[in-house]
Amino acid sequence: MLDYFFIIFSFIVTIGSGLWVMGGTSTTSPPMVEIQSTEGTFLYPLSENRDISVKGPAGITQIRIEKGEAFAVDSPGPQRIIMQMGKIHKKNEWIASLPNKVFVRIVSGPQSDIDAGIF
Protein backbone atom coordinates (compact mmCIF):
# COMPACT_ATOMS: atom_id res chain seq x y z
CA MET A 1 0.00 0.00 0.00
CA LEU A 2 2.84 2.41 0.83
CA ASP A 3 4.41 1.59 -2.56
CA TYR A 4 1.36 2.97 -4.36
CA PHE A 5 1.57 6.17 -2.33
CA PHE A 6 5.22 6.72 -3.34
CA ILE A 7 4.48 5.97 -7.01
CA ILE A 8 1.60 8.47 -7.11
CA PHE A 9 3.61 11.05 -5.14
CA SER A 10 6.58 10.68 -7.54
CA PHE A 11 4.25 11.08 -10.53
CA ILE A 12 2.73 14.27 -9.12
CA VAL A 13 6.16 15.76 -8.30
CA THR A 14 7.46 14.93 -11.79
CA ILE A 15 4.49 16.51 -13.56
CA GLY A 16 4.53 19.57 -11.28
CA SER A 17 8.26 20.09 -11.81
CA GLY A 18 7.85 19.85 -15.57
CA LEU A 19 5.09 22.44 -15.58
CA TRP A 20 7.11 24.76 -13.37
CA VAL A 21 10.26 24.50 -15.54
CA MET A 22 8.35 25.03 -18.78
CA GLY A 23 6.62 28.08 -17.32
CA GLY A 24 3.18 26.57 -16.94
CA THR A 25 2.67 28.25 -13.57
CA SER A 26 4.10 31.67 -14.40
CA THR A 27 2.30 34.61 -15.91
CA THR A 28 3.21 35.46 -19.48
CA SER A 29 4.54 38.86 -20.43
CA PRO A 30 3.10 40.67 -23.43
CA PRO A 31 5.01 39.96 -26.65
CA MET A 32 7.75 42.43 -27.54
CA VAL A 33 9.77 43.09 -30.68
CA GLU A 34 13.50 42.88 -29.99
CA ILE A 35 15.70 44.61 -32.56
CA GLN A 36 19.45 44.02 -32.46
CA SER A 37 21.82 46.11 -34.53
CA THR A 38 25.32 47.53 -34.35
CA GLU A 39 23.86 50.38 -32.26
CA GLY A 40 22.46 48.07 -29.57
CA THR A 41 19.37 46.07 -28.63
CA PHE A 42 15.95 47.71 -28.40
CA LEU A 43 12.53 46.45 -27.24
CA TYR A 44 9.17 47.65 -28.54
CA PRO A 45 5.67 46.42 -27.65
CA LEU A 46 4.13 44.33 -30.41
CA SER A 47 0.75 45.86 -29.58
CA GLU A 48 1.73 49.44 -30.54
CA ASN A 49 1.92 50.42 -34.21
CA ARG A 50 5.14 52.24 -35.15
CA ASP A 51 7.86 52.61 -37.77
CA ILE A 52 11.47 52.12 -36.68
CA SER A 53 14.61 53.14 -38.58
CA VAL A 54 17.56 50.91 -37.75
CA LYS A 55 21.04 52.06 -38.78
CA GLY A 56 23.56 49.47 -39.88
CA PRO A 57 26.80 49.28 -41.87
CA ALA A 58 24.94 49.04 -45.21
CA GLY A 59 22.43 51.82 -44.51
CA ILE A 60 18.99 52.06 -42.87
CA THR A 61 16.54 49.18 -42.47
CA GLN A 62 12.91 50.22 -41.94
CA ILE A 63 10.94 47.97 -39.55
CA ARG A 64 7.20 48.38 -39.11
CA ILE A 65 5.08 47.12 -36.20
CA GLU A 66 1.46 47.05 -37.25
CA LYS A 67 -1.63 45.07 -36.20
CA GLY A 68 0.38 42.81 -33.90
CA GLU A 69 2.99 41.91 -36.52
CA ALA A 70 6.52 43.08 -37.27
CA PHE A 71 8.05 43.18 -40.74
CA ALA A 72 10.65 44.96 -42.86
CA VAL A 73 9.40 47.72 -45.15
CA ASP A 74 12.77 48.64 -46.69
CA SER A 75 16.34 47.41 -46.45
CA PRO A 76 19.62 48.32 -48.17
CA GLY A 77 20.68 44.69 -48.67
CA PRO A 78 21.25 43.74 -52.32
CA GLN A 79 18.69 40.91 -52.27
CA ARG A 80 16.37 42.41 -49.63
CA ILE A 81 15.88 38.99 -48.03
CA ILE A 82 14.62 40.50 -44.77
CA MET A 83 11.64 41.89 -46.68
CA GLN A 84 10.96 38.52 -48.31
CA MET A 85 10.91 36.76 -44.92
CA GLY A 86 7.44 38.17 -44.29
CA LYS A 87 5.66 39.15 -41.10
CA ILE A 88 6.37 37.77 -37.65
CA HIS A 89 4.07 37.68 -34.63
CA LYS A 90 4.81 34.52 -32.57
CA LYS A 91 7.43 34.13 -29.87
CA ASN A 92 10.88 33.23 -31.26
CA GLU A 93 10.00 34.06 -34.87
CA TRP A 94 12.69 36.21 -36.48
CA ILE A 95 13.77 38.10 -39.56
CA ALA A 96 17.28 39.34 -40.34
CA SER A 97 19.32 41.50 -42.69
CA LEU A 98 22.82 40.03 -42.68
CA PRO A 99 24.49 42.75 -44.81
CA ASN A 100 23.09 45.42 -42.49
CA LYS A 101 23.59 43.36 -39.29
CA VAL A 102 19.94 43.78 -38.17
CA PHE A 103 18.17 40.98 -36.31
CA VAL A 104 14.48 41.24 -35.35
CA ARG A 105 12.64 38.69 -33.22
CA ILE A 106 9.56 38.31 -31.06
CA VAL A 107 10.18 37.77 -27.35
CA SER A 108 7.92 37.60 -24.29
CA GLY A 109 8.60 40.81 -22.43
CA PRO A 110 12.03 41.80 -21.13
CA GLN A 111 14.61 39.03 -21.40
CA SER A 112 15.89 37.37 -18.25
CA ASP A 113 19.20 35.62 -17.68
CA ILE A 114 17.50 32.20 -17.53
CA ASP A 115 15.88 30.75 -20.63
CA ALA A 116 14.09 27.40 -20.31
CA GLY A 117 14.49 26.95 -24.05
CA ILE A 118 18.21 26.14 -23.70
CA PHE A 119 17.75 23.02 -21.63
How much of the chain, in percent, has pLDDT values that exceed 70? 82
**For the segment 76-93, what is each residue's pLDDT rounded down to a tens digit?**
978 888 999 999 999 999
Reading phi first (left if > 0) and then psi (alpha if -120 to 50, else beta), residue 59 is in left
Average pLDDT over residues 25-32: 70
Considering the entire predicted model, what is its pTM? 0.68
How much of the chain, in percent, has pLDDT values that exceed 90? 59
Average pLDDT over residues 31-46: 94
Q: Which domains does the chain have, with CATH numbers?
A: 31-110 (2.60.320.10)
The per-residue pLDDT for 14 is 84
